[in-house]
């Protein structure tokens, strides 16, 4: 099928294609999320994480959140050239088309693209235009909540009425959906074009800046850096009670480094965004009225969009409406999944049998069979058939008092009784400096779509951690696409190298700083594609600091 399902988001875009083995999310630099960021330089156009990185050092040539300008006559100037929002969006779609074609080895001619339900005709036309400019035919434009509903409703036969609460990076959208005899209908919808995770980042940016106590001007560059830091902090606060920000070389004042050290608690963050969350629930109640639906008639409220991972949202919904909110398994992917399922339905494919990308095996660690046994068994952490990427945590307890070390042996397979019949894929040892009487560790497993498993073991009392990354079985097609990607990366790599060389020529920079940067350059040059983005982030951070700001 030559169709791509595209969720063209304000902050990130996601693309899904249909294959005979099921659905496949296209991978961009090792991630299924493609930052909707475009950078234009003399070397050409770059899109995604690399463009997002460039925003720190070439913000004037970088377009962020272009979706907010769709349907307007506004233009952006990038590298001295004027672009319409449609043109900028078309660069993002072109990147999706090209990456999908390289990864899947076929040509994609058509797409189903999603837009917020409240997008007006101008905004929809602009989106269609952007798709055409990218060389794709628009098979259908569908509403994001409808797409989320399709993905939620897939493989569910029962008729039901539910709300789709979609809080993304830039927009909020709430819809009442009826699923009746396989037909999915939007009964009512409303939203706010300017409410989303970006606004939470801004509020958190202000709080961090206030707390920093710095008495310097907040330049545009620093603002971007602070914004990225705020986003990371916000995401961490969805799973941690507090975050300690510790950036040794955050900025400069009179040639001296300024150390940013700030603590932000979950309560503080929740208080910051409380009025926004209340507003989303007001809109939910409003749209229920519009569809003449009583809250009690709703089977569920389904949460989708990256920002709906913030735990206080479901708590607030329960508190104010008495309804349980269900976070869609993959809130970032559901819209794009719905888009491709819609494409498949148009093509007459039976979507009930389509599967989402899943892990074909279980992953876990070895544990003792019992308190008094020396025999080992296999304790699964990520179960076979879980959609990927996925993150799961399990807790394990020490066998002896004041246990000094925890051996974490990682296995892949299905046999829980017989450890040896599973495949060992790695091991690591967590040693504890100050052992406690009843030690326990949390083991986090994070599996990405390429079969890379990141493991973190953390003693829950002492917070000592050990980390490791292990390779599970990788399919041939994935390896193939990696080789291809390596070949096409060189132009952007060259820009980074040129930038490093320019900084190295600067005589005012200390020799030891230059040595560090040179080491990073070597690491970057010898890295494989998947490692490059994170090294690039370090490089940009370092250049950002070394350049006069
Ligand atoms: P979307 O437009 O649906 O891709 O959502 C993107 C937004 O979700 C961005 O503002 C992200 O910072 C935000 N986001 C992603 N993951 C989380 C998380 N775990 N907690 C809070 N916000 C998140």
408 falls within a domain: yes
pLDDT of residue 161: 87
pLDDT of residue 482: 29
Phi/psi zone of residue 137: left (φ > 0), alpha (ψ -120 to 50 degrees), beta? beta
Ligand 1 geometric centre to CA of 307 (Å): 4
Over residues 13-53, the pLDDT tens digits come to 999 999 887 899 999 988 999 999 999 998 889 999 999 98
- Domain match, 40 and 131 both: yes
Atom from ligand 1 closest to the CA of residue 14: 4
State the residue range of the domain holding 501: 493-546
What average pLDDT score do residues 170-190 get?
A: 79
Sheet of 62-63, strands arranged across: 44-47, 38-41, 62-63
Query: Is there an atom of ligand 1 within 6 Å of 11 CB?
Result: yes
Encoded tokens for 274: 């409380």
- Say whether pLDDT at 507 is over 60: yes
pLDDT of residue 134: 96
Ligand 1 geometric centre to CA of 196 (Å): 9
- Domain match, 71 and 172 both: yes
Do residues 381 and 365 make contact, with C-beta atoms less than 8 angstroms apart? yes
pLDDT of residue 154: 62
Counted residue by residue, the chain has a size of 549
| Cα 174 from Cα 288, distance rounded (Å) | 10
- Domain match, 522 and 421 both: no
- Domain match, 425 and 368 both: yes
**Chain center to CA of 20:** 26
* Lowest mean pLDDT, pick from 32-46, 47-61, 238-252, 340-354: 340-354
Out of 358, 382, 414, pick the residue that ends a domain.
358
What average pLDDT score do residues 195-211 get?
A: 95
Ligand 1 geometric centre to CA of 435 (Å): 37
In terms of pLDDT, which residue wins out, 178 or 311?
311
Encoded tokens for 501: 């060389």
Residue 28 pairs with which residues in a beta bridge?
31
Cβ burial 301-327 (10 Å sphere, 16+ → b, else e): bbbbbbbbbbebbbebbeeebebebbe
- Domain match, 390 and 515 both: no
- Confidence class of residue 484 from pLDDT cuts 50, 70 and 90? very low
Query: Is there an atom of ligand 1 within 6 Å of 403 CB?
Result: no
Over residues 382-437, the pLDDT tens digits come to 987 676 678 899 999 888 899 999 999 999 888 888 898 888 888 999 999 999 99
pLDDT of residue 440: 92
Ligand 1 geometric centre to CA of 384 (Å): 26
Out of 420, 439, 472, pick the residue that ends a domain.
472
386 falls within a domain: yes
| Cα 10 from Cα 194, distance rounded (Å) | 11
- Say whether pLDDT at 450 is over 60: no
């Amino acid at each position: 099928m030559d169709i791509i399902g595209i969720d063209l988001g304000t902050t990130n875009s996601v693309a899904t294609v249909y294959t005979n083995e099921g659905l496949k999310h296209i991978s961009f630099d090792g991630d299924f999320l493609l930052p909707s960021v475009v950078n234009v330089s003399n070397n050409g156009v770059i899109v995604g994480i690399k463009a997002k990185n460039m925003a720190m050092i070439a913000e004037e040539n970088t377009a962020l959140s272009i979706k907010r300008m769709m349907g307007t006559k506004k233009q952006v100037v990038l590298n001295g050239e004027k672009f319409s929002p449609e043109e900028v969006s078309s660069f993002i779609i072109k990147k999706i088309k090209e990456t999908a074609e390289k990864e899947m080895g076929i040509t994609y001619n058509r797409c189903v693209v999603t837009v917020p339900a409240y997008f007006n005709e101008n905004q929809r036309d602009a989106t269609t235009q952007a798709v055409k400019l990218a060389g794709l035919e628009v098979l259908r434009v569908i509403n994001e909540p409808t797409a989320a509903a399709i993905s939620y409703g897939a493989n569910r036969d029962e008729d039901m009425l539910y709300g789709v609460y979609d809080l993304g990076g830039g927009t909020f959208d709430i819809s009442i959906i009826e699923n009746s005899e396989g037909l999915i209908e939007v009964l009512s919808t409303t939203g706010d074009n300017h409410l989303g995770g970006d606004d939470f980042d801004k509020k958190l940016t202000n709080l961090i800046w206030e707390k920093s106590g710095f008495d310097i001007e907040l330049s545009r560059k620093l603002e971007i850096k602070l914004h990225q830091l705020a986003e990371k902090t916000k995401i961490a606060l969805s799973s941690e009670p507090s975050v300690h920000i510790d950036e040794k070389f955050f900025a400069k004042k009179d040639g001296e480094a300024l150390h940013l050290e700030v603590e932000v608690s979950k309560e503080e963050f929740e208080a910051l965004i409380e009025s926004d969350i209340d507003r989303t629930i007001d809109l939910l109640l409003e749209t229920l009225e519009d569809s003449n639906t009583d809250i009690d008639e709703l089977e569920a409220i389904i949460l989708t969009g990256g920002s709906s991972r913030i735990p206080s949202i479901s708590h607030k919904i329960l508190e104010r409406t008495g309804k349980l909110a269900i976070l869609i398994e993959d809130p970032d992917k559901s819209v794009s999944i719905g888009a491709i399922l819609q494409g498949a339905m148009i093509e007459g494919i039976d979507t009930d049998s389509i599967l989402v990308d899943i892990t074909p095996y279980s992953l876990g660690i070895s544990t003792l069979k019992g308190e008094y046994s020396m025999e080992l068994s296999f304790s699964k952490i990520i179960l076979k058939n879980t959609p990927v990427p996925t993150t799961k945590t399990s807790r394990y307890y020490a066998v002896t008092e004041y246990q000094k070390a925890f051996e974490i042996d990682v296995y892949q397979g299905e046999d829980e009784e017989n450890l040896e019949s599973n495949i060992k894929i790695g091991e690591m040892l967590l040693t504890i400096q100050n052992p406690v009487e009843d030690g326990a560790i949390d083991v986090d497993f994070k599996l990405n779509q390429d079969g890379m498993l990141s493991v973190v073991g953390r003693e829950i009392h002492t917070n000592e951690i050990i980390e490791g990354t292990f390779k599970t079985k990788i399919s041939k097609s994935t390896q193939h696409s990696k080789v291809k990607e390596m070949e096409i990366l060189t132009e952007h790599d060259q820009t980074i190298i040129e930038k490093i060389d320019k900084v190295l020529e600067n005589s005012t920079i200390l020799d030891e700083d230059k040595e560090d940067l040179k080491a990073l350059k070597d690491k970057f040059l010898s890295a494989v594609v998947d490692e490059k983005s994170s090294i690039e982030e370090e490089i940009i951070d370092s250049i950002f600091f070394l350049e006069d700001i």
